[in-house]
Amino acid sequence: MKNFEFVNPVKIYFGKDQISKLAGELIPYQKIMLVYGKGSIKTNGVYKQIKTALHDKDIIEFQGVEPNPVYETLMKAVEVARREKVDFLLAAGGGSVIDGTKFIAAAIKYEVGDPWNIVVKNEKISNAVKFGTVLTLPATGSEMNSGAVITRKSCNEKLAFGSPLLFPVFSILDPETMYSLPDSQIANGIVDAFIHVTEQYLTFNMNAAVQDAWAVSLLKVLKTEGPKVLKNRNDYDSNANLMWAACMALNGLLTAGVFTDWSTHMIGHEITALFGIDHAKTLAIVLPGVLTVMQDDKKEKLIHYANNVWEIYGEDEDQLISEVIDKTEDFFKSLGIGVRLSDYNIPETAIDIICNKLEEKNYIKLGEKRNINPEIVKQILALRK
Amino acid sequence: MKNFEFVNPVKIYFGKDQISKLAGELIPYQKIMLVYGKGSIKTNGVYKQIKTALHDKDIIEFQGVEPNPVYETLMKAVEVARREKVDFLLAAGGGSVIDGTKFIAAAIKYEVGDPWNIVVKNEKISNAVKFGTVLTLPATGSEMNSGAVITRKSCNEKLAFGSPLLFPVFSILDPETMYSLPDSQIANGIVDAFIHVTEQYLTFNMNAAVQDAWAVSLLKVLKTEGPKVLKNRNDYDSNANLMWAACMALNGLLTAGVFTDWSTHMIGHEITALFGIDHAKTLAIVLPGVLTVMQDDKKEKLIHYANNVWEIYGEDEDQLISEVIDKTEDFFKSLGIGVRLSDYNIPETAIDIICNKLEEKNYIKLGEKRNINPEIVKQILALRK
Confidence check: pLDDT of A23 > 90: yes
A16–B3: do the CB atoms touch at under 8 Å?
Answer: yes
Contact check, Cβ <8 Å, A248/B210: yes
Smallest CA–CA distance, residue B91 to chain A, in Å, is 19
A5 to B16: CB separation less than 8 angstroms, yes or no: no
When pLDDT is cut at 50, 70 and 90, the band that residue A365 belongs to is confident
Tell whether B2 is within 8 A of chain A (Cβ): yes
d(CA A118, CA A163): 10
Please give the pLDDT value at position B60.
97
- Segment A237-259 mean pLDDT: 98
Check residue A383 and give its pLDDT.
98
Mean pLDDT of A309-334: 98
Say whether residue A164 is in contact with chain B using an 8 A CB cutoff.
Answer: no
Name the residue facing B5 among A4, A13, A220 (closest C-beta).
A13
Global confidence as pTM: 0.97
Contact assessment for residue B257 and residue B4, using Cβ atoms and an 8 Å cutoff: yes
pLDDT in the model for residue B123: 87
Please check whether the two domains, B11-177 and B183-382, share a CATH topology. no
Interface contact A5, partner B, CB < 8 A: yes
Query: For B331, phi and psi rounded to 5 degrees?
Result: -60, -45
Per-residue model confidence (pLDDT) at position A123: 87
Interatomic CA distance for residues B338 and A252, integer angstroms: 38
pLDDT in tens, A96-147: 999 999 999 999 999 899 999 999 888 889 999 999 999 999 999 999 999 9
Nearest one of A119, A114, A97 to A33, comparing CA atoms: A97
pLDDT tier at A241, thresholds 50, 70, 90: very high
Kind of pairing, strands B31-36 and A4-14?
unpaired
Residue A157 binned pLDDT confidence (cut-offs 50, 70, 90): confident
**Percent of the residues in chain B that have a pLDDT greater than 70, as a whole number:** 99
Helices (H), chain B: 22-25, 40-43, 46-53, 71-84, 95-109, 116-120, 183-201, 209-231, 236-248, 263-275, 279-293, 299-308, 317-334, 350-360, 374-382
Give the rounded percent of residues in chain A with a pLDDT score beyond 70. 99
- What phi, psi does B92 have (nearest 5°)? -125, 110
Give pLDDT tens digits for B335-367.
999 999 999 999 999 999 999 988 887 666 899
**What pLDDT is stored for residue A131 in this prediction?**
98
Q: How buried is A338 (Cβ within 10 angstroms: 0-12 exposed, 13-18 middle, 19+ buried)? A: middle
Domain-wise residue ranges, chain B: 11-177, 183-382
| Predicted pLDDT of residue A122 | 85
Gap from A305 CA to chain B (nearest CA, Å): 15
What distance, in Å, lies between the first and last C-alpha atoms of chain A? Answer: 37
Question: Do the chains contact at A15 and B9, CB–CB below 8 Å?
Answer: no
Q: What's the rounded Cα separation, in Å, for the pair B287 and B380?
A: 9
What would the mean pLDDT of A315-319 be, rounded to a whole number? 97
Predicted confidence at residue B363, as pLDDT, reads: 61
pLDDT of residue A364: 65
pLDDT of residue B365: 82
pLDDT tens digits, residue range B216-233? 999 999 999 999 999 999
pLDDT of residue A363: 61
Name the residue in chain B with its Cα closest to that of A243. B210
Q: What torsion, rounded to 10 degrees, do the Cα atoms B339, B345, B349, B350 define?
A: -70
Residue A329 Cα, gap to closest chain B Cα (Å)? 23
Regarding the domain delimited by A11-177, which CATH topology (the fold level of the hierarchy) does it fall under? Rossmann fold (3.40.50)
B240 at the A interface (CB within 8 A)?
yes
Report the distance separating Cα B286 and Cα B278, nearest Å. 13
Hey, are the CB atoms on B213 and A220 less than 8 Å from each other?
yes
**Average model confidence (pLDDT) for chain A?**
96
- Answer yes or no: are the C-beta atoms of A148 and A103 closer than 8 Å: yes
Question: Which residues of chain A neighbour B244 with C-beta distances below 8 Å?
Answer: 1, 208, 210, 256-257
Extract the residue ranges of chain B whose pLDDT is less than 70: 362-364
Selection from B136, B329, B335 nearest residue B228 by Cα:
B335
Q: What is the mean pLDDT of residues A197-222?
A: 98
- CA nearest neighbour of B265 among B117, B95, B61: B95
ipTM, 2 dp: 0.97
The pLDDT score that the predictor gives to residue B158 is 86
| Contact state of B3 with A18 under an 8 Å Cβ cutoff | yes
Q: Which CATH architecture has domain B183-382?
A: Up-down Bundle (1.20)
Residues contacting residue B283 through CB under 8 Å, at least 6 positions apart? B191, B192, B195, B264, B265, B268
How many Cα atoms within 13 Å fall on the side-chain side of residue B317? 9
Please state the φ and ψ torsions of residue B169, each to the nearest 5 degrees: -65, -40
- For the cut 80, the answer to whether the pLDDT of residue A361 exceeds it is no
